[in-house]
Chain A
Amino acid sequence: MIKCTVCGIQNREGSKFCSNCGARIAQASGLICPMCSTPNKVESVFCEKCGARLVPLTVAPAPEKTPPATPIKGLSLPAKPVEPPATKPEAPAPEPTPSEPTVPSDWLARLRTAAPSEEETTAPQIEAESLEEQAEVADWIARLRANSSFPETETEEADTDAPFADKPAPVSDLEETPDWLRPASAAPATPLPAPEPARADEMPAWLNRLRAESAPIEESAPSVSTNEPMPDWLRSLEQPTIVEPTPAETPAPRAEQPAAFLPPLEAASPPVPISEAEMPDWLRELKPKETETVAPQETLADETLDTNLESPAPSLLTPTEPTPTWVGEVFRASTMVDEDLPDWLRTPVAAAAAEPGIALAQEAAPALEQAQVPDWIAALKPPDHPTPELEGEALETVGPLAGLRGVLPLAVAIVEPHAPSRLPLPGVRSESAHLFESVLASSMAEAGAPATARARRAWTMRPVIYLLLLLATIVPFFLPDFTSSSLPVSRVPARTFFELVEKLPANAVVLVAFDYDVSVAGEMDLIANAIVRHLIQRRAKVIAVSTVETGAQLAERVLTQATRDMPNFRYGVDYAILYVPGQEAGLTQLATTGFAANARDWSQRQPLDKLPAMVGIQTLRNIDLIVLLPGSDDRLQLWMEQVRPFKTLPVAGGVSAAVEPRASVYYDAGQLDTMFSGVLGAAQYEVLAKQHDPLAKKVGAAVTNANSQNVAQLVLVGLIILGNLAYWVARAQGKAK
């Protein structure tokens, strides 16, 4: 587990970001890139992602005192050891890689041109000027030029230890290097035996390697810089140090420094405040005219930025001594465009920003106006004073966006989609939320009144409809039969069914499928009762089957009621009830192999072979007619698909009115020989049975129910017509208005 340094939550091994706060998790033994926050290996010198230097440069120990290497407190500058051409020092430099810009940006060029034209300030511009302009440079630079023919070892040392030689590939930097310095930087190094590094066990491998490479060169480095006069501004830059060195960190004497035109910053210790008189003009211009107090947000941003650098830079800004705002901006800008900055500008600015005691000239402020900063840097610049809208936003504490607020609101929403925000709403947003709530409340209140009115109207209409339907169903029960005489029975499907039963031979075996449940029993019982009565009159043997659990019980009730008037029609002898489980499989078995051997009847639980009614009936071949009484489409489909294709015997159906559309399809296709549906069909069947049997005293319940059904249907049709008329009238009135 990895503990997050921000919130303390334990995260899994290998996690790059904290699962709680989203902060980048520093690897236990890794180096965090100060530029892109990418974790790198311990032995890494440069970031594997952006190429920024991960470790500060070190000063080679002096041969006499062998002080421990002191890191440069400033921007980490790439200082990978250079391997200059050994055979042809004067060979032209190869083409720079595209990823390493060799030309300073425009804003830096403008910054250079905006500098004063004194001799001291023109020194950094020499590398970009023509040879004619070299005559205007200071004398010390001229002397440096005179010493440009350094020995090869000196050049090597300059490239290795000079803090301003930041490019890891100095071969490509030769183009940036002034002409007078190029031969020196291109001079090959002379291999010398490496001295024993001091406190090597306390240093990482990369530091030991650097020291091993740089120390022998320092031994042969000529003492040039101390003997040569330096300009005041350069000396002033040399004085302040970033961190006060400890006694053990005594810098190497200047005489032993490499022959670079700028000495390392560590050499200038202890810090000495710079006065304005000693300050170079170009740096004096950078200083704002008035001393600014650092805003809290600015300080926080600077501190956060420094923290993210994870280099000695965090110690640059002491919390007790607030850094001027413009210094922070310069420092941040120089951090962002580190690769675009030339060597002469990079570290001095960083050093100047890091030194809290530096008092710069006020007239330098216009030189660093925002207009001269690249846009992408200006976009990253945090506001000087946090706006009220951004106060509630989360502050980025890690990564390249450190110090910025509210830059990634969507990321928070994705990470915690259901977590409510714990941040207090700022004033503006709180007012907006209240306004939104009030709008919603008012709209709901306005819409509530019509809805209530509509509900009240619906409630007043519903009882009327209920009452009308109730009267339409109850009143016909008390009226004399008016249906039996008015029902058409001559050319109706029920007559076809009736005639089919009439044509059955004596003692015919009829399979009646009671495939309906209690939900439609009120309708299907009337149909089944009409058919079964007719079959009993015909003395047919009825084998009632059902694939529904409750169907067998309903069949028993219907047959029991139908046989009350015919006591000679007995269960087990003249009829039987069976339950067929298994849905498709049970019906397929019934159609192909017949009744199951182990099956028992429903009422008496007797084996089928012991029932007199089932004697000689093993398969459907012994059946003369199949009567289907399905209460739903799927039951009818089950019989049509699993039984009908195997048999050629007639199949008739008495179906529910809801199943009639499906049954009509089978009837039209010839799969059903005949069919009728609903209570009206049952009433027609009863009327036909009464006409055929003059001894019948009265019609069945189907006719009685058909009376009520006809009236109820008429009432229902009338309500539908009235409703449509009311709708069209209301619509016409609405259009008229």
Chain B
Amino acid sequence: MDWIGVSVGAILTLLVFSYLLGDTPLFRIAQAIFVGVAIGYAATIAINLVLWNRLFEPLTRDLGANWHLFVPLVLGVLLFAKLRADWAPLGNLSVAFLFGVGSALAIGGALRGALVPQLLATLVPLTSFDNVLVFVGTIGALLSFRFVQPSPNQRSTRALDGLARAWGAIGRWFVLAAFGAMFADIAVSRISILVSRMYYLLHDWLQIIQ
């Protein structure tokens, strides 16, 4: 039984590899199977683990203790009003709830988990080479996106503009290095996936390597 599943996986892997020869029907078959299975799997998970286990089953088991679950139930039902044009405004409440809560959590999380910690991480004492590198690279990367031209009449700002341009040119190299590192990491990740697929074919399916 396991061998059938492994064989199906191996055949689908070969179908996907047929894309090396072009957009062949074999690749399209594998693509359609992947999309269909993924959607069906997600729908099954949502029905079994969310709707039934966390909503309908508690309501049927103890309605008095779980009366608050009517709120998500009503909001969820109102979403179906979006299927009809004249009833669509009824679903605005659910959509507003979803977007409002999602936006609030995302913004709050970005402030707490990304912006403030990242800013604090750059405020380092310039006591080591790494910290100097962080300071120069961070400020330089910000200055590389500075496109403001100074006023020609102000001599004092002219010197600052020269400094900002020079620092921004250095920061541009930091940005390029970061982009190169990101691309290299993605390439390494994709090679890892290729190697794992070959290992699957040779080890799990053909079993010619140990």
Question: Which residues of A come within 8 Å of B, CB atoms?
Answer: 462, 466, 469-470, 473-474, 477-478, 519-523, 525-526, 549-550, 552-553, 579, 581, 583-585, 588, 596, 598-600, 602, 605, 637, 640-642, 644-645, 656-661, 665-666, 668-671, 677-679, 701, 704-705, 708-709, 712-713, 716
| 9 residue pairs A–B, Cβ–Cβ below 8 Å | A473-B195, A474-B198, A477-B199, A521-B196, A549-B41, A637-B114, A641-B109, A659-B185, A712-B191
Contact B194 A473 (CB under 8 A): yes
B120: which A residues are within 8 A, CB to CB? 669
A671: which B residues are within 8 A, CB to CB? 113, 117
A462 and B46 CA atoms in complex are apart in Å by 43
Contact A526 B185 (CB under 8 A): no
A72 and B75 CA atoms in complex are apart in Å by 80
B41: which A residues are within 8 A, CB to CB? 549-550, 553
Residues of chain B in range 13-31 having any CB-CB distance to chain A below 8 Å: 20
B186 to chain A, nearest CB (A): 5
A100 and B46 CA atoms in complex are apart in Å by 84
* CB closest chain-B residue, reference A552: B45
* CB closest chain-A residue, reference B107: A641
A656 and B193 CA atoms in complex are apart in Å by 10
Contacts A549-B41, A644-B113, A708-B198 given; indicate if A579 touches B105 (C-beta within 8 A): no
The secondary-structure label for the interface of chain B is: helix
Contact A477 B202 (CB under 8 A): yes
The answer to whether B54 has its CB under 8 Å from any CB of chain A is yes
A656: which B residues are within 8 A, CB to CB? 189
* CB closest chain-A residue, reference B111: A641
Q: How many residues of B contact A (CB 8 A)?
A: 51
A285 and B178 CA atoms in complex are apart in Å by 91
A466 and B199 CA atoms in complex are apart in Å by 17
A477 and B208 CA atoms in complex are apart in Å by 10
A666 and B114 CA atoms in complex are apart in Å by 8
A677 and B181 CA atoms in complex are apart in Å by 14
Contact A661 B182 (CB under 8 A): yes
* CB closest chain-A residue, reference B104: A584
A657-B185, A657-B186, A712-B191 are known contacts; what are 16 more A-B pairs with Cβ within 8 Å? A473-B191, A526-B192, A526-B196, A552-B45, A579-B45, A581-B46, A581-B49, A585-B105, A596-B54, A598-B58, A600-B53, A641-B114, A668-B134, A670-B117, A677-B185, A678-B185
The answer to whether B76 has its CB under 8 Å from any CB of chain A is no
| Contact partner, A520, options B105, B113, B189, B198, Cβ 8 Å | B189
Contact A581 B50 (CB under 8 A): yes
Contacts A549-B42, A584-B102, A670-B117 given; indicate if A709 touches B195 (C-beta within 8 A): yes
Contact B20 A660 (CB under 8 A): no
Contact B191 A709 (CB under 8 A): yes
The answer to whether B146 has its CB under 8 Å from any CB of chain A is no
Contact B113 A678 (CB under 8 A): no
The answer to whether B187 has its CB under 8 Å from any CB of chain A is yes
| Contact partner, A658, options B49, B112, B186, B200, Cβ 8 Å | B186
| Contact partner, B192, options A469, A522, A600, Cβ 8 Å | A522
B185: which A residues are within 8 A, CB to CB? 657-661, 677-678
Contact A598 B53 (CB under 8 A): yes
The answer to whether B142 has its CB under 8 Å from any CB of chain A is no
A575 and B81 CA atoms in complex are apart in Å by 42
Contact B118 A599 (CB under 8 A): no
Contacts A600-B53, A716-B187 given; indicate if A641 touches B196 (C-beta within 8 A): no
Looking at B109, B121, B190, B209, the one whose CB has the most chain A CB atoms below 10 A away is: B109
* CB closest chain-B residue, reference A580: B49
B76 to chain A, nearest CB (A): 13
Contact A713 B118 (CB under 8 A): no
The answer to whether B106 has its CB under 8 Å from any CB of chain A is yes
The answer to whether B110 has its CB under 8 Å from any CB of chain A is yes
B191: which A residues are within 8 A, CB to CB? 473, 709, 712-713, 716
Looking at A522, A644, A668, A712, the one whose CB has the most chain B CB atoms below 10 A away is: A522
Contact A658 B53 (CB under 8 A): no
| Contact partner, A641, options B110, B134, B182, Cβ 8 Å | B110
A189 and B145 CA atoms in complex are apart in Å by 85
A474 and B197 CA atoms in complex are apart in Å by 10
The answer to whether B88 has its CB under 8 Å from any CB of chain A is no
Residues of chain B in range 71-106 having any CB-CB distance to chain A below 8 Å: 101-102, 105-106
The answer to whether B160 has its CB under 8 Å from any CB of chain A is no
Contacts A640-B114, A705-B199 given; indicate if A584 touches B193 (C-beta within 8 A): no
B50: which A residues are within 8 A, CB to CB? 581
* CB closest chain-A residue, reference B106: A584
The answer to whether B8 has its CB under 8 Å from any CB of chain A is no
* CB closest chain-A residue, reference B53: A600
A348 to chain B, nearest CB (A): 71
Which 4 A-B pairs give the minimum distances between C-beta atoms? A522-B196, A641-B109, A641-B113, A669-B121
The answer to whether B188 has its CB under 8 Å from any CB of chain A is yes
* CB closest chain-B residue, reference A602: B49
Contact A678 B192 (CB under 8 A): yes
B113: which A residues are within 8 A, CB to CB? 637, 640-642, 644-645, 671
Contact A657 B194 (CB under 8 A): no
Contact A523 B189 (CB under 8 A): yes
B110: which A residues are within 8 A, CB to CB? 641
Contact B121 A670 (CB under 8 A): yes
A467 and B177 CA atoms in complex are apart in Å by 30
Looking at A550, A553, A669, the one whose CB has the most chain B CB atoms below 10 A away is: A669
A594 to chain B, nearest CB (A): 15
Contact A588 B105 (CB under 8 A): yes
B112: which A residues are within 8 A, CB to CB? 641, 645
B48 to chain A, nearest CB (A): 8
A466 and B49 CA atoms in complex are apart in Å by 43
B37 to chain A, nearest CB (A): 10
Contact B45 A585 (CB under 8 A): no
A644 and B58 CA atoms in complex are apart in Å by 31
A666 and B196 CA atoms in complex are apart in Å by 28
